[in-house]
Amino acid sequence: MKLIFSLILLLAITLTLILLITIVAAIRKLTGKPFWKSFKAGLWILLLPPLALLYGSFIERNQTQTNNVEIVSENVPATFDGYKIVQISDLHLLSFLGREKTLSKIVEKINSQQPDAILFTGDLVTQNSTELDSTEKILARLKAPDGVYSILGNHDYSFYNQWPSEEQRKKDADAIIQRQRAIGWNILLNENKNITRDANGQTDTISIIGVENTSSKHKFRSYGNLGKAMQGAEGKFKILLTHDPSHWRKEVLPKTNIDLTLSGHTHAMQSTFFGWSVISFVYKEYMGLYTEGQQHLYVNIGLGETMFPFRVGAKPEITVITLRSASS
């Protein structure tokens, strides 16, 4: 299926380029240049799309980029100054079947950052829970002193698979949840976890809040309840895990004082050109760090792929986020 999608994409790009070559040749003809000479001279550009896809399939999708981000806030308690988080997202384990060694290297690289906590922002699978069969032992090696936390993305509800009944879909979606718990991950389903540090006779707290998939885009179903998820979140500094970055403007900014929101979902469409992706026509925030006042959003472009088995200009991402106390 991925091969078919890739060939369709390649055909669409090729036809677009032929149209552009034709337009350029027609314009040059108006200036006195021979049409066919200009057209033939421009055909070399048709080599670029297949070369880019081959590069993205065999080289870039097997590399990782580590992006380091500092978040400075007055709400970060002094005892949490220097607190290190690794954010990962969109594993889409189907894309690692047959590439388990690559996944193992990614896990080693994450652990080598020595994070205090690891936060996964959804889309563990692409189609169903069986994708964990050959990968869950690898993922179980992810370790951090304060734990590994995860949420569900739109793919983790098993909607992208054909099921004989709705009951079987729900059963598989529940299996995805239970298998995360079995490997020691703390999956947050509209709930939160308070992390504390004791110093000088007092206790400082930050909160990790996780919501189920929530989107402003109608094609993606929303199950999140942010109000419920925040109940009991006592941290002065609050971190929200929400898969779809459109949730930030839909609800987080207008209704909460959450300091840092972490999302994934977009993949930056697995391709960027000089730092820009066509998915910007759909998502205003689709890659990297965004700030409004004292509130921040980071969109991780993921580790796996869907539809197309390649990445061009959008290497799989590990994000290392260090919290800094403004008072320090």
156-205: pLDDT as tens digits: 999 999 999 999 999 999 999 999 999 999 999 999 999 999 988 889 99
What angle, rounded to 10 degrees, do the helices at 48-58 and 2-30 form? 150
pLDDT value at residue 327: 80
Residues of the chain with pLDDT under 50: none
CA neighbor of 323 nearest in space, from 198, 235, 231: 235
Structure tokens at 150: 């995860």
pLDDT value at residue 322: 98
CB count, 10 Å around CB of 130?
14
223 SS3 class? coil
Rg (the chain; Cα; Å): 22
CA neighbor of 302 nearest in space, from 33, 95, 7, 56: 95
pTM of the model: 0.92
Which residues are paired to 70 by β-bridges? 322
Which residues are paired to 73 by β-bridges? 325
CA neighbor of 242 nearest in space, from 318, 189, 304, 320: 189
**Rounded CA gap, 130 and 120, in Å?**
19
Which is it for the CA torsion 107, 113, 116, 121, positive or negative? negative
